[in-house]
């Protein structure tokens, strides 16, 4: 694990150096031909060096330091116990895969803020949210949720005006407008997703799948990171077949999946990760598609 991310960071570092050098050459060239006095030239050169240093700092040093900090810090034993008691996905991993999963969780928690709105946030809740984020991208070590900064946790479900209460219907959402780069989740429903029973629901994982879908700029149920072009048409045919079954009440997939292709991908992904054996039994063709989409060879 350490070796992999050391290589990854070296590649990022080299890329940052190349970009910084190109920027330096470009600005030096502009400075040389536009400066009218030696004083102006000196100021422009100093400004160029400052820009280059800042570019290197944010492109390479900051992300590399975060990963190094994660990899050097032991994963708390208490956290391992929480995962073993609550996250079946983690339980079924081999020892080296567990370490990899733990590192991904540490990095996620180091780079994302999880804020409680009129509710307490403890380690268990943070770990359940982070686990939900890592499960769908477990086979994609390069993937980072760089389209979100903060996750707001409400005590219960909420409405479009962000008022929380038992009679509200929204369990989770990816924010936009003033709430851009934020996710909102219901604490009650996160905990119920990991209550020790094989459920087909996971509201946090649902919203993270939307973020994965959004990475290519469009939330359409066809995330480019998960699907190559040759895979799209057969996937769409299978998706439409299953939506038709939901409409005819011949499928146990959440009816919310009928809303659009993106929602189908999200609710079916919940089912796939939370109850893989049941999903395989009830939906063998879909199971094969999702195994390819998520490059998941673990579920037998």
Question: Which pLDDT does position 16 carry in this prediction?
Answer: 63
Structural domain contains residue 299: no
Q: Is 298 within a domain? A: no
Are residues 160 and 277 both part of a single domain? yes
Residue 46 sits in the same domain as residue 116:
no
Domain final residue, candidates 23, 56, 72: 72
213 in a domain, yes or no? yes
- The count of structural domains within the chain is 2
Tokens standing for residue 21: 């050098």
Q: Which of these, 199, 159, 166, 193, lies nearest to 279 by C-alpha position?
A: 199
Q: Give per-residue pLDDT as tens, 111-122.
A: 899 999 999 999
Same domain, 255 and 116: yes
What is the pLDDT, as a whole number, of residue 132? 97
Is residue 11 domain-shared with residue 120, that is, in the same domain?
no
What values do phi and psi take at 164, rounded to 5? Answer: -100, 150
**Residue where a domain stops, chosen among 14, 48, 72:** 72
pLDDT, tens digit (0-9, with 9 covering 90-100), for 65-107: 666 777 778 899 999 999 999 999 999 999 989 999 999 999 9
- Give pLDDT, residue 225: 75
50 within domain boundaries: yes
Residue where a domain stops, chosen among 44, 72, 100: 72
Residues 6+ apart with CB under 8 A from 161: none
- Are 275 and 156 within one domain? yes
Q: In sequence order, which residues have a C-beta less than 8 Å from that of residue 24 and are 6 or more positions away?
A: 48, 49, 52
40 and 184 share one domain: no
Domain containing 204 equals 77-293
Predicted TM-score (pTM) of this structure: 0.79
In a domain, 300, yes or no: no
Q: Per the domain annotation, does 149 fall within a domain?
A: yes
Pair (186, 60) in one structural domain? no
pLDDT of residue 116: 95
- CA–CA dist 49, 37 (Å, integer): 19
CATH code of residue 142: 1.10.472.150
Identify whether residues 102 and 144 lie together within a single domain.
yes
Per-residue pLDDT, 2 = 44
Exposed/middle/buried for residue 290 (C-beta within 10 Å: 0-12, 13-18, 19+): buried
Say how far apart CA 278 and CA 144 lie, in whole Å: 29
Integer angstrom CA distances of residue 267 from 64, 162, 213: 34, 22, 13
Burial of residue 249, with CB atoms counted within 10 A of its CB: 0-12 exposed, 13-18 middle, 19 or more buried:
exposed
Q: Does some domain include residue 274? A: yes
106 and 121 within one domain: yes
Is residue 83 included in any domain, yes or no?
Answer: yes
pLDDT block averages, 10 residues each, the chain of length 300? 52 66 69 68 70 66 66 89 95 92 93 93 97 95 88 90 78 76 92 82 95 85 78 88 93 93 95 94 93 78
Q: Are residue 148 and residue 285 in the same domain, yes or no?
A: yes
CB 103 within 8 A of CB 70: yes
Whether residue 20 is found in the same domain as residue 58: yes
Alpha helices in the chain (DSSP H): 2-34, 38-56, 62-72, 77-86, 88-91, 95-111, 123-134, 187-193, 203-214, 229-247, 261-274, 276-282, 284-293
**DSSP for 207-246?**
HHHHHHHHTTS--SS--TTT--HHHHHHHHHHHHHHHHHH
Instruction: Kindly state whether residues 103 and 241 are assigned to the same domain.
Output: yes
């Amino acid at each position: 694990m350490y070796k992999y991310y050391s290589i990854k960071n070296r590649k990022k570092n080299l890329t940052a150096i190349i970009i910084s050098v190109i920027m330096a050459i470009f600005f030096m060239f502009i400075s040389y031909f536009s400066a009218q006095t030696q004083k102006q030239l000196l100021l422009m050169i100093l400004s160029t060096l400052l820009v280059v240093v800042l570019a290197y700092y944010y492109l390479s040093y900051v992300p590399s330091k975060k990963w190094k900090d994660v990899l050097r810090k032991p994963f708390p034993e208490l956290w391992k116990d929480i995962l073993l008691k609550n996250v079946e996905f983690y339980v079924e991993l081999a020892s080296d895969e567990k370490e990899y999963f733990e590192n991904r969780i540490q990095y996620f928690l180091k780079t994302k803020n999880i804020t409680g709105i009129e509710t307490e946030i403890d380690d268990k809740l943070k770990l359940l949210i982070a686990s939900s984020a890592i499960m769908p991208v477990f086979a994609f070590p390069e993937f980072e949720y760089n389209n979100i900064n903060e996750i707001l946790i409400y005590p219960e479900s909420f409405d479009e005006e962000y008022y929380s209460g038992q009679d509200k219907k929204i369990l989770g959402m990816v924010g936009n407008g003033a709430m851009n780069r934020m996710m909102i989740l219901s604490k009650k429903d996160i905990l119920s997703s990991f209550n020790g029973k094989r459920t087909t629901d996971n509201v946090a994982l649902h919203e993270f799948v939307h973020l994965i879908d959004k990475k290519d700029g469009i939330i359409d149920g066809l995330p480019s990171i998960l699907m190559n072009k040759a895979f799209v048409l057969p996937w769409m045919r299978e998706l439409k077949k299953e939506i038709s079954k939901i409409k005819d009440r011949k499928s146990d997939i959440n009816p919310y999946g009928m809303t659009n292709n993106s929602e189908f991908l999200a609710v079916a992904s919940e089912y796939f990760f939370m109850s893989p054996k049941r999903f395989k039994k009830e939906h063998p063709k879909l199971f094969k598609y999702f195994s390819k989409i998520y490059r998941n060879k673990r579920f037998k």
